[in-house]
Amino acid sequence: MTRAHSPNISLDTMTYSPPPLPDYLARNHTLEVITGVPTDEQVRSIHDTIRSVNSVSNVPALYDSQLSTQLAQYLFTVQMAVYRNEYLLNVFPGENTYTPPPIPSHIPISLEPVVGAPSDEELDAAHSAVRTLENLANSPFFDSGLNIKLSQHVFNIQFARYIHDSNQGQFTRPEPPRPPPQTSANEQPIIDSGHINNLADNQSSQGVTEPGLNPVNYPKAPSSPVGLEPTLLPQPNDKLDKIYDAQLDTNRLLSSSEELLKDIRRTLVTTYLKAHLANSTHSNDIMNEKGEQPWMHRLENICTHWVGGTRKLNRSIVGEELARYLKFYKIGAELIDDDVGNIKSGKEADAQQLLAYYLVNVRLPVS
């Protein structure tokens, strides 16, 4: 998605403003106001931020559903801008061809170019490809660039389908006729109160005369709105109670499973580190407690070497990069200024020494 030279000046001057991010997200993610056609990097930042927000969806204290909705709307607006740039001469698609990005071999889904509105099968295949790639988000096979292109492809064909269905008038469907209410033999027939009132009025004005009797005036029935139905008192719903109890049991089981998986992960990471401790001095070989490697967080590889009997880093790593490395391994929190996401003044040498020690020993020095 590169900026195109288009004759449509309005596209180049339009701006798209993101929602404000809370502090815990703003430290690692930056969303800028986009002017004109969004670039790959700008769209990637939105996807990364959405992925971070959704990663804490099971933590009520951190998850912000309103922010998630705002980010989804922001992504929609940005993807619409990309669509209008790529299909500028035919915004409302007729026979546009929507070509998907090449799919790597480890994703067992085949996507073909879509001409005009996509079929249900083509939509399903595109969505499946996106889900499969998202499931690889924490693995070396994840490709953020491919993720952006796949997401845009899904948007393009969904928009084409929307326009097609809109032109065909397929958004409104007649409701099936409702069957008339059944009345059992034991039920009393329902009488329209308005009909009763009319009868009462006629009889009260004319009277009812029987042979040998004086006219009888019937009292007028109190008026009520026509068709007013009696109010039913709410009844206890046993099914909802059972569903709620089952959900609580499921949550407890999931919580126990989560703790078990954390223990398994720590064991696997510890085993891995012990196996590689004597054979590597590269940071990309040293995982954190989550089983992640630095390159997954866009941290460049660093090595250690001996200098005067002490392990040193092979290159100068300072500032935010150094702080991000310490945060990645969850070490040296006292050396980081969280307000600015940087190393505290005068503490860079200590931070470098701590990181070099950790890469060699995979533990903190004994104080």
Q: How far is CA 266 from CA 259, 278, 282, 288, in A?
A: 11, 19, 21, 10
Contacts of 340 (CB under 8 A, 6+ apart): none
Tally the residues of the chain: 367
Contacts of 217 (CB under 8 A, 6+ apart): 203, 204, 207
- How many whole angstroms separate alpha carbon 174 and alpha carbon 160? 24
pLDDT the model gives residue 138? 79
Q: Is the dihedral of CA 81, 83, 85, 88 positive or negative?
A: negative
CB atoms within 10 A of CB 92: 12
Residue 330 buriedness (CB in 10 A; 0-12 / 13-18 / 19+): exposed
pLDDT in tens, the chain (367 residues): 333 344 444 777 889 999 999 888 888 899 999 999 999 999 999 999 998 888 877 777 778 888 988 999 999 999 988 988 888 555 455 678 899 999 998 888 889 999 988 899 999 999 999 988 888 887 888 888 899 999 999 998 888 888 877 777 665 555 556 666 565 555 554 444 444 445 445 444 444 444 444 444 544 545 444 444 455 455 555 666 667 667 776 766 666 666 666 656 655 655 555 555 544 566 666 777 777 778 778 888 888 777 766 777 878 888 888 888 888 888 888 988 888 888 888 888 888 888 888 887 777 887 6
Contacts of 25 (CB under 8 A, 6+ apart): 49, 52, 53
Retrieve residue 161's tokens: 């389908």
pLDDT the model gives residue 58? 79
Task: Report pTM.
Answer: 0.44
- How many whole angstroms separate alpha carbon 39 and alpha carbon 17? 15
- How many whole angstroms separate alpha carbon 163 and alpha carbon 42? 27
Q: Which of 271, 367, 356 is nearest to 310 (CA)?
A: 356
Partners of 311 in beta bridges: 306
- How many whole angstroms separate alpha carbon 345 and alpha carbon 335? 9
Q: Give Cα 260 to chain centroid, integer Å.
A: 26
